[in-house]
Amino acid sequence: MNCKFSAPSCPYVAAPMQVSCSFQAPCGLEGGDTLRQPVHEVSTDGNLSLVLSVQVADFTVDWLSLQRRTYNGEIPSRTWRVKRRDVIRLNLFNDLMLPEKTDPLNSLRFPNTTNMHTHGLHISPKVEDVVVEARPGGDLSYEYNIEENHPSGTFWFHPHVHGSTLFQLHSGMAGMIIVEDEETDPGLSQQLKSVSCPFNCEHDIQLIFQPTLLYSNVKNAYKFASMQDDIEDGIDNLANYIVASTGKTFKDWISNDANGISYFTTNGQLKPTLNIMTGQLKRFRLSKFFEKISNSQKT
Ligand SMILES: [Cu+2]
């Protein structure tokens, strides 16, 4: 029906509600934008050179804008795409430059110290010693040789400083690594090849699940605001906002189970949308960048 509001035969259709939410007048999150894919950093002539700056950046979902520790300001980080026999050279700069918190061993500590850990690559532990750390303002270099017999597949990277791994991971610091299939791989069927990068990249879809919005309905230890409290986070300003309707802080609001801010994001988005034609085959590469979770979180 093509109908105007003034026509008497028109059913009444309410105009979309213009919701303008804010830290002082918060409301639930919707999401639902078209699914984005992470940018790929692709090796050329056997080399992949990467520069990652660990820095604080805005992370925004709908009206909610939060500050997070990130790689180069991106959540998730870019995907590293390599082949067997490639060399990855990474320069990692810790640009956090925030005061450090040095609690005793085995407590949440060192939120502003970092390093790099590749998850699943077949490399020597000497290449990536997790006790080697970059303090605020420091930097580290890594060189990874992808061996000739390395399996193709989907892997990931994240920081691994003892005391802040979970905190930085939940903040958003992670990304995917793809070791490409090769024509001669015995496991590569024609059907899989028809939907896989590097042959048919448009059908090769990455879904990166991250615990970036876990503020309520989780065990206290894993609520992001609780971790920020524990760590006396210098970028945590949520307690500075007062919600007009309750007179309490925005931190109270976002941590309140009743408000339901308990989401995993997909490629840094909340409930993104992907349209697929009927009968179209796709390849999905799934990574979940978290450890322990409860059953109550939504994606
Ligand atoms: Cu890991």
Instruction: Quote the percentage of the chain above a pLDDT of 90.
Output: 75
> What was the pLDDT predicted at 292?
55
Alpha carbon distance 127, 115 (integer Å) = 12
- The least confident of 13-22, 237-246, 253-262 is 13-22
Q: What's the CA-to-centroid distance between 153 and ligand 1, angstroms?
A: 16
Q: What's the CA-to-centroid distance between 122 and ligand 1, angstroms?
A: 13
Q: What's the CA-to-centroid distance between 155 and ligand 1, angstroms?
A: 10
Q: What's the CA-to-centroid distance between 84 and ligand 1, angstroms?
A: 21
Residue 36: pLDDT band (50, 70, 90) is very high
Q: What's the CA-to-centroid distance between 242 and ligand 1, angstroms?
A: 38
Q: What is the pLDDT of residues 8-20, one digit of tens each?
A: 444 444 444 446 9
Q: What's the CA-to-centroid distance between 157 and ligand 1, angstroms?
A: 7
> What was the pLDDT predicted at 291?
59
> What was the pLDDT predicted at 220?
60
Q: What is the pLDDT of residues 39-82, one digit of tens each?
A: 999 999 999 999 999 999 999 999 999 999 999 999 999 999 99
Mean per-residue pLDDT for 169-192? Answer: 93
The two tokens of residue 40 are: 């790929």
Query: What domains are defined for the chain?
Result: 40-288 (2.60.40.420)
For the chain, the average pLDDT equals 89
Q: What's the CA-to-centroid distance between 2 and ligand 1, angstroms?
A: 55
Mean per-residue pLDDT for 87-110? Answer: 93
Q: What's the CA-to-centroid distance between 7 and ligand 1, angstroms?
A: 62
Mean per-residue pLDDT for 90-114? Answer: 93
Residue 125: pLDDT band (50, 70, 90) is confident
Q: What's the CA-to-centroid distance between 131 and ligand 1, angstroms?
A: 14
- Using H for helix, E for strand and C for coil, what is the string for the chain? CCCCCCCCCCCCCCCCCCCCCCCCCCCCCCCCCECCCCCEEECECCEEEEEEEEEEEEEEECCEEEEEEEECCECCCCEEEECCCCEEEEEEEECCCCCCCCCCCCCCCCCCCECCEEECCCCCHHHHCCCCCECCCCEEEEEEECCCCCCCEEEEEECCCCCCHHHHHHHCCCEEEEECCCCCCCCCCHHHHCCCCCCCHHHEEEEEEEEEEECCCCCHHHCHHHHHHHCCCCCCCHHHCECCCCCCEHHHHHHCHHHCCEEEEECCECCCECCCCCCCCCEEEEEECCCCCCCCCEC
